Structure 1
């Protein structure tokens, strides 16, 4: 399978579309965290599955990982990675917990992280669906109990049309109080990337501006 051919312009358009979706997600997150959320420009890579799993596995010992799958016209997942410091901060702000034990999550904390993931993924998916005029939705988030690599393999392997390339965006929400970062990974399979490119090319050929700008 050859790597999809993506021009620099198409890559920039995809990055801008994702930026719009992520900005909406950052606003939603800021409302929960009661803090200003800074968003770094996403890094777009096309990498192989084994590289993706290796990348994600590095976070397993230091972060709680919440996974939400994207379904419908597109196939992908979001992963939100919460550090102990971030969980403590969110627990103080949202749950009024003053002394947060690091390590094990209680049920309220896990519910909070799942709800945050649901809101962020929902905001992102809604924007992507609107811009790309596609029918996509986020499945309820979950905190994988097994190794994240096993959880990801399930998505990748159970998809009969899956090809061994994924499209990843790694961005970070940073809030000012303690400069704690909340990495977000978003990835799609190759077929989704090809669908996105087709949609962008259709808009370009019709001389419509996909981003709705003058």
Structure 2
């Protein structure tokens, strides 16, 4: 498969589409966090599968990873990465827990992390579907118990030649002047990237603004 070529303008358009989805996600997340939520502009890179797995593996021993697959006309996944410190802060703020112990998650804590991932992924996917006129949906999030590479095989191994399109987003919310940052990885396979580019280029030819909302 030939490597997709993305112009700087197309990168900017994809980033803007994601930003619209992230803004919706931030509003939804703020309802749980009971405070202001900021989602930073995502970085966008094309990397080899091996690099992606190595990147994710660096977080495995230090973070709880919540995965939600993107299915339908697009093929991809989101990974939200929660460190012990993130979990403590989120438990204090969202669950009103006091003296939170680091280590093994309680049922309530795992449910909270799954819900946060569900809200953010759901808002992103809904917005992508609306803007790109695609039939896509997010699967219920899960916390893989095995190595994340095994969990991602359904996306990676079925398409061994693709270069995943990886977006890295830092979710930041502030509560009582203290910030919590949550790394989010969002990636799609090459076929999905090509579909996105086809849609964007069709709009560019038509001189329409892809990111205008009614």
> What band does the TM-score fall into relative to the shorter chain?
over 0.9
Q: TM-score, normalised by structure 1?
A: 0.94
- 1:14-93 to structure 2, matched below 5 A, reads 14-93=14-93
How far apart, CA to CA, are the structure 2 residues paired with 1:71 and 1:178?
Answer: 36
How far apart, CA to CA, are the structure 1 residues paired with 2:155 and 2:209?
Answer: 33
What are the Cα deviations for residues 5-55 of structure 1, in whole angstroms up to 9, with x where unaligned? 111111111111111111111221122112212222110000011000111
The answer (yes or no) to whether the contact 2:155–2:189 under 8 Å persists in 1 is: no
- Structure 1 residues 25 and 213 mapped into 2: Cα distance closer, same or farther (>3 Å)? closer
Q: What is the alpha-carbon root mean square deviation over aligned residues?
A: 1.6
Unaligned runs of 5+ residues in structure 1 are: none
Unaligned runs of 5+ residues in structure 2 are: none
- 1:51-200 to structure 2, matched below 5 A, reads 51-157=51-157, 159=158, 161=159, 163-176=161-174, 177-200=177-200
Question: Bigger shift: 193-202 or 174-183?
Answer: 174-183
How far apart, CA to CA, are the structure 2 residues paired with 1:6 and 1:155?
Answer: 22
Cα drift, residue 152 of structure 1: 1.5
Cα drift, residue 153 of structure 1: 2.4
Q: TM-score, normalised by structure 2?
A: 0.94
Give the paired residue count. 212
